[in-house]
Chain A
Amino acid sequence: MSNRFVEQGLRSPVNLTWEVSLLCNLRCSHCLSASGEAAKDELTTAEALALVEEVHQAGVFQINFGGGEPFMRPDFEQILDACHERGIMTCISTNGTLLDAARVARLSQTRLVAIQVSLDGATSSTCDAVRGQGVFARATEAVKLLAASSIPTSINTVLTTHNASEIPAMYELAQSLGVSLRVSRFRPSGRGADNWEDLRPTPSQLLEFSDWLAKSGDVRTGDSFFSLTSQERQGLGLNLCGAAKLTCCVGPTGNMYPCAFLQTDRFLAGSLRDKSFQQIWDSSEIYESFRSLRIHSCEECTRFDQCHGGCPAVAWHLKNDLSGGDPECLERCVTSIADAAKAAA
């Protein structure tokens, strides 16, 4: 990945995360957006369809739908159809509980959709402790339906301290079901902030995961682990934060943010009810600040070229400092473990 072209500024994002609703039938303890009830004044169907056209005109290649549970929106398939009619690729992050054979058959009619089903453990006890009683079984049934269809499907697992030891088993589970595995980083936003200390992986677990990831080239990370990315995985994804450069986020009410983990007033780039998608992308001061963000404190690090300071959202949530460097990067995990060993001695 060349940073030079990204730093020149792209005319629109490559992809967009769109949280279409906060409404969700689950209450996962790590939920990045604390979903449950719908947000007040979510985009109407007409507004959502108008946004699809704006995004198309801007040249965005892909929309990654999340929430909330996207299928809780009665018009969600209509929004998907509007994307696909315009050739926009889509990826849906779902808990799987609302997928049945009829819906999978409808979604299979396009070649433009991919689906990620969330499962947070290789066993029902681990997964359901985070996602709720019976969810593992229901989500697994959804994965089976999808695996039998033409839809590219993956299991998406958020790495926590409780499932870290099960990641290889998750990989085997995904393989046995005929789908791929994607592991996402747990970040302290939404309910994830409330449950951060209980769920965050330890530095040792992060290092162990990094080693495993280096040997597991077919595991996707959605670029969320570039702070841990080893040399072996270079070229498989990003080596820098893409917020406001390659990607951005639209929330349920049409507010735009740099990324899904920074959906607060502090990081509001603009409202689609006031300005167009292109205007906000081109001229938001928040986006400009992310494009010029430099993590100077990390520049002397030997891994700087591999992560460029890591995830600013984690730095913000944990240290209240966007430019302070990722507190959970590979180097800091190593240092943290060494410090702990020294203290114990």
Chain B
Amino acid sequence: MGAAGIKLHPACRVRQEGFGLLFYDSRGPRLLFAETGSLLPPDFFAETRSRDELPPGLNARQEEVLRNFMTKLLERGFLREQPLC
């Protein structure tokens, strides 16, 4: 079993909106509006990522905000953990 990574839950989708990212969970259905601007492209969630991975080019504050955001997504079930390999 490889290290745990994170991936968009199969029941969820995400897309870019003017304010940031719009997440959709078909199990509710429920929505999550994230004011991430253009910091995090929706394609980032297309593949399994390591827990610490973030897009390049962010400053320390942005990284901290996005790490907290990823944790929130995981807690709310929009992301799920799975082996990296």
**A interface list, Cβ under 8 A from B:** 1-2, 5, 8-11, 14-15, 59, 61-62, 87, 89, 111, 114, 236-237, 246
Q: Are A89 and B26 in contact (CB under 8 A)?
A: yes
Mind listing 27 A-B residue pairs with CB under 8 Å? A1-B31, A5-B19, A5-B22, A5-B33, A8-B18, A8-B19, A9-B18, A10-B22, A11-B15, A11-B16, A11-B17, A11-B18, A14-B22, A14-B24, A14-B29, A14-B31, A15-B29, A59-B15, A62-B13, A62-B24, A62-B26, A62-B29, A89-B11, A114-B26, A236-B28, A237-B28, A246-B31
Shortest Cβ gap from A252 to chain B (Å): 24
* Residue B56, interface by CB 8 Å: no
Docked Cα-Cα span, A111 to B29, in Å, equals 16
Docked Cα-Cα span, A10 to B18, in Å, equals 8
Interface string of B39-73 (1 = CB under 8 A from A): 00000000000000000000000000000000000
Q: Are B13 and A10 in contact (CB under 8 A)?
A: no
* Residue B2, interface by CB 8 Å: no
Docked Cα-Cα span, A15 to B15, in Å, equals 13
Q: Are B26 and A61 in contact (CB under 8 A)?
A: yes
Q: Are B33 and A89 in contact (CB under 8 A)?
A: no
Q: Are A61 and B15 in contact (CB under 8 A)?
A: yes
Docked Cα-Cα span, A86 to B28, in Å, equals 21
* Given A9-B18, A10-B22, A61-B26, 9 additional A-B pairs, CB 8 A: A8-B19, A10-B17, A11-B16, A59-B16, A61-B13, A61-B24, A87-B13, A89-B11, A89-B13
Write the chain A residue with the least CB distance to B13: A61
Docked Cα-Cα span, A11 to B13, in Å, equals 15
Docked Cα-Cα span, A146 to B3, in Å, equals 37
Q: A5 and B26 in contact (CB under 8 A), knowing A14-B31, A111-B10?
A: no
The 5 closest A-B pairs by CB, nearest first: A5-B33, A61-B24, A59-B15, A61-B13, A89-B26
Most B CB contacts (10 A, CB to CB) among A5, A8, A87, A114 go to A5
Number of interface residues of B (CB under 8 A): 15
Most A CB contacts (10 A, CB to CB) among B13, B19, B28 go to B13
- Contact partners of B13 in chain A: CB under 8 A: 61-62, 87, 89
Docked Cα-Cα span, A59 to B24, in Å, equals 11
Write the chain A residue with the least CB distance to B18: A8
Q: Are B26 and A2 in contact (CB under 8 A)?
A: no
Shortest Cβ gap from A236 to chain B (Å): 7
- Contact partners of B29 in chain A: CB under 8 A: 14-15, 62
- Contact partners of A87 in chain B: CB under 8 A: 13
Docked Cα-Cα span, A283 to B16, in Å, equals 20
Shortest Cβ gap from B17 to chain A (Å): 6
Shortest Cβ gap from A12 to chain B (Å): 8
B 1-35 contacts with A by CB, 8 A: 10-11, 13, 15-19, 22, 24, 26, 28-29, 31, 33
- Contact partners of A11 in chain B: CB under 8 A: 15-18
- Contact partners of A14 in chain B: CB under 8 A: 22, 24, 29, 31
Most A CB contacts (10 A, CB to CB) among B10, B19, B31 go to B31
Docked Cα-Cα span, A10 to B24, in Å, equals 13
Docked Cα-Cα span, A87 to B45, in Å, equals 14
- Contact partners of A246 in chain B: CB under 8 A: 31
Shortest Cβ gap from B61 to chain A (Å): 23
- Contact partners of B33 in chain A: CB under 8 A: 2, 5
Shortest Cβ gap from A153 to chain B (Å): 14
- Contact partners of B18 in chain A: CB under 8 A: 8-9, 11
- Contact partners of A236 in chain B: CB under 8 A: 28
- Contact partners of B11 in chain A: CB under 8 A: 89
Q: Are B17 and A5 in contact (CB under 8 A)?
A: yes
Shortest Cβ gap from B16 to chain A (Å): 8
Docked Cα-Cα span, A146 to B10, in Å, equals 20
- Contact partners of A1 in chain B: CB under 8 A: 31
- Contact partners of B26 in chain A: CB under 8 A: 61-62, 89, 114
Docked Cα-Cα span, A204 to B17, in Å, equals 42
